[in-house]
Amino acid sequence: MTELHDHTALELHQLLQRGGVSPVELASHYLERIERLNPEVGAFETVTGEAALERAWLVEREVPRARPLWGMPLADKDLQRRAGVPARFGSRAFADFVPDESDELVQAVDAAGAVSLGKTATPEFGLPSYTEGLAAPPARNPWDLSLGAGGSSGGAAAAVAAGMLPFAPGSDGGGSIRIPAAVCGLVGVKPSRGRVPGGSGLASLAGLGVAGPIARTVADAALLLDGLIAPEGYPAAHRFAVRAPGDDGPFLGAAVRGEGRFQLGVLLDSPWDEAYDIAIDEPSRGALDLAVDVLAGRGHGIEELASAPEPGYAEAFRTIWQAGAATIPVDGEREALLDPLTRWLLGRGRAVPARQLAEALAWLAGFEQRVIRRFASYDAVLTPALALTPRPVGWYDPEDGERNFAQQVQFTPFTSFVNVSGLPAITVPVTETESGVPLGVQLIGRPGGEAVLFAIGAQLERRVRRAALHPALW
């Protein structure tokens, strides 16, 4: 018998619109699953069951049904402030912090008619690419609970993969949507810089961090992205945002149709190659080869890009990553509450000279232009989603900051440069390891090229047919 969580988010949206299920019934169903499954998965930092049911009742009676996410359950990443709900940012230093105001992205999902069930887990201040720390149990991969869920949107990905949510918003400053989505067998979308008003990236250092969706299918991801961009529905011209070039959506149509033939590049080198020992393992390369074969069979033009070394990338990006930690609002004795990695980053970041930061920002601005020129003749560029198979819980060194950084780079060499370049990207699961853990690929688009990514992602998804598979705890 098909249960509510067996449906895709798009199917649930259609059920809500037809009156086949109510927002209260849907929220209640997912809250029951969260209560049962979260203790072993660690996807949620905070569950707001009573408030969620009150909100669902309000949506059912007072919010226009035409709102793009009407009645849909989701959860806020715990880097986002929601008024009256604890915002711990994955840190013991903020264990008791309850904000009085909500962030713009939270306001957007409310305006779109969604129902928040709580807060999904994140590592401390979203800094690392795995969701493990001292403030909470690790977020685990529902396909294999001995593995981590990735990060920093690891709780969001674990919740969606386990069927505790139909989809979830995340944030991505160096791969933090795409990494956990790939680890957990999901679709993750990093939009173009400036695309999502409530998470544009324009206010973040070097313009890195943007908001986007994590979902089980390409169409589900497009549905959520449309809601984040235009919470009161398209056209969204009345909402202020610096738009990325290209169409402003809606993107659901491109994801549902999955049409078009395109010129695709295949990228095997990364800008980290000059500074770290980067190697793509056999399963990850196999996932890429499968995707290339599928897309070639669909009639797309495909060619491998020539290598383009960027020996200055590692130093410039490290400077930005460390400098970004300098603004963490923790000082004095409270620093002892931070995780060792965060303390290391905080110390390094606050020691970065202004000249070094300015030089790094200027270097990365030039890098952005070079990447866009390099990719200009392609509609999309295909890479492995990750260089290695998903990592076990506890794999990352929690004490040695230099080794920890190297481990993160070696696992995820194909994500951060997309943030630096401001480009859109999507990860799509295509196969699995011998033990059944999903593996995916990444497609990088032109500035404002989300519609093309959704179309190609839909074609790939239909051919490999992984969207209907679920982990054993489902």
Tell me which residues are annotated as active site: 77, 152, 176
Report residue 293 as tokens: 């074969």
Neighbouring CB atoms inside 10 A of 78's CB total: 31
Report DSSP letters for 295-355, one per residue: HHHTT-EEEEPPP---TTHHHHHHHHHHHHHTT-S--GGGGGGS-HHHHHHHHHHHT--HH
C-alpha of 291 from chain center: 21
- Nearest Cα to Cα of residue 196 among 128, 103, 259, 129: 103
The interaxial angle of helices 313-325 and 354-375, nearest 10 deg, is: 130
Report the C-alpha gap between 382 and 473 in whole angstroms.
Answer: 32
- Nearest Cα to Cα of residue 157 among 142, 138, 172: 142
- Nearest Cα to Cα of residue 214 among 178, 250, 249: 178
Report the C-alpha gap between 340 and 72 in whole angstroms.
Answer: 38
DSSP 8-class letter at 393 = T
Single-letter amino acid, residue 439 = L
Q: Is the peptide bond before 250 cis (omega within 30 degrees of 0)?
A: yes
Report the C-alpha gap between 67 and 61 in whole angstroms.
Answer: 13
Distance spanning both ends of the chain, measured CA to CA: 14
Strand order in the sheet with 263-266: 167-172, 210-215, 187-190, 425-432, 438-445, 380-384, 263-266, 301-304
Which residue reads 């049962």 in tokens?
Answer: 36
Report DSSP letters for 124-185, one per residue: GGG-SSS---SSSPPPEETTEEEEE--SSSHHHHHHHHTTS-SEEEEEESSSTTHHHHHHTT
The interaxial angle of helices 154-161 and 23-41, nearest 10 deg, is: 110
